[in-house]
Structure 1
Amino acid sequence: MQNSPYNVSTIPHESGIYFENRGSLRFTNSDWKLLIYINLDNYNNRYIETINFYNKTEKICETLQKESPELFNTTCGNFALTSASLLQEISRKRSNMLQSIDVEEINKREKRGLINIVGHIQKTLFGTLDDEDGEMYNTQIRELQSSRVGMLKIVDKQTSILKLTNSVFKEAQLMENQIRNLNISCKNLETSLKRVWYQLDELEIRATTTNLITTLLLLLQQLVFETDMVGEIISAAQNGIIHSGMISTRELRMQLRDILISLPGQLKLPFDVNYISLYELSKTSKLAIVYMNGTLVFELVIPLLNPVELTLYHIIPLPVRKEQLYMHQFSHPNSNTWPFQKRTSTI
């Protein structure tokens, strides 16, 4: 039918539903748990020992300035100024870091000496961690911490535990060597200063003191860096983010390949291990982060995909003929506007 100046067109529809292909779909009814942890005990011990050596050096300087001010006033004075600013920075950052995980420092002052750390057994920073899993992780972490290996795999529980303490504290070995050297230097000086001053070699004492001060200042600077790193890792953890400084992309992919070859049956990981990043892994997985017994623990629950592949469709309803009703399109031949539609009876 034509009713000038309009054209009427009937739009036939045999089916009222259109299936839009949205891609493949796989179900998951299993998972693999990747546990990443950083033990902070060694960091805390380095802090304690460094502060103790600072206190000893202060006492040595007091003695030296009293016995020979012309030789040691400048050296010890510069040390006092430089070390004061570093100690203040370390103290502030460390205090903020410990408060964020509900840990308190107990100071029994021999000047600024740290004696003990007291805190909750477990503090959840992000997500939730099952109590039973927490107990198992605590046991396995202690076992792994006492060994030289960096990873423990528990196949029957589909769990991998990865130790990252050395990866985060890359300069730890150097610092511990410096602490041993400080210990030797302090003991030698303390022994020497018990003798009568005129019996001492002043040049040797001055060289040993300068070396002691230089090493201690380097140690304090490294401690500032470590405290910064720990604070940033905890701050990111409270926002559900794994800090990029914890593990390299290369090491992450290597660990995921190791998990891939251990998967039971035909189960698969939901990503390509050759291209996955830490950020993408944390988004794909269920993440929980806790601090327990001096250890920062990151639990990543990675879903495993079923081998059966399905197709996901989006169902779109379409207008259909019902009894004697049709969908018609009306358009004006001289108009640039869009046509409009109307549901009418048979014409």
Structure 2
Amino acid sequence: MFAIPLLAVTFLAAPAENELVERIERLQLQNGMFLDRTSDRTTVSSAATGMGSYALAYAATRGLADGAEVAQRLELAFQITTQANPARNHGWLAHFTDTNGNPKPFSEISTIDTALFYMGMQKAAELLNLPHLQQRIEHELGKIDTSFVLRDDKFLHGFYWPEGNNTSDDAQPDFIRHRWADSSEGVILYKLFNIEFEFEIRRVDYPLFVYLYPLMFFEDERYVRLLSEAVDFQIAEYGYSGVTATDGPHGYTIHDRNLISPLLLSAVGSRFPAALETLQKYSLDPAIAAYYIPSGWVNSDDLTIDLASAYVMLVQWKGYSHREDLVTESAPTATR
């Protein structure tokens, strides 16, 4: 299956750590918030701010980012995000905001993106030993009205305001009626609020990221098994793995069997070596965030959540155990 020892493949199948950190840093604004993507300098993502902050906190602990600067921006981003959030949102955050934290008129108020923001901030503050910020995070978490979006003990996906930011004070939101009740990233919400959760629907055919995100924040054997089974499912169904939600040739794509993420595979492969077979099969550079198999299209527009999630998992799963070798090691045949 592999022409060289598997351990060596693991090292070769990871992007250079310093380069990946630099890509994440380019997505951060001076106020600590993170852009959704490189090409749009006007749109911040709450999930991206949480996950990007978590990633740079890890980089700081590994000598690849200035710890004092990361901490300062972390606190500023948390302050701006929470203070700009309108009271009518009951503490829940808009997925997309402007660079000052004001919700974009088109954005949903998203339960999962709120969870990713707070979980990322918690983990970053813990890594950098910032007890004051940890207390502020707990204080703001206590102000979130969970009952506003709980139905039958399950969280809704979120809600919209019918007229965007021009809604009157007595307006009612349009709720997104889908519930986080399945084997997806929704478990993060329940962990954040210390609510017991058992999924009602178990599936392994979702985009791969949904099984990876929970493992960024906690070790849960259910999701370790789900991720392993999801990789195996994709290999059996498609002949390769790495199918996920990311940018494709025609914009952001939730599910297309031809759209894979070499970067995600490099992270998953640091724990589940079967994921690395796809990188070898197509001679892919693991630094590539998205690759479209039929045409060979490669994404050049970085998304913070893609880079940050891969970096966190590469660090946690020891994909960068020998960082000095990774920085100088040449990558597989590039297709960028």
Place the TM-score, normalised by the shorter chain, in its bin. Answer: under 0.3
Using structure 2 for the length normalisation, give the TM-score: 0.22
**Which has the larger strand fraction?**
1
Who wins on radius of gyration, i.e. which is larger? 1
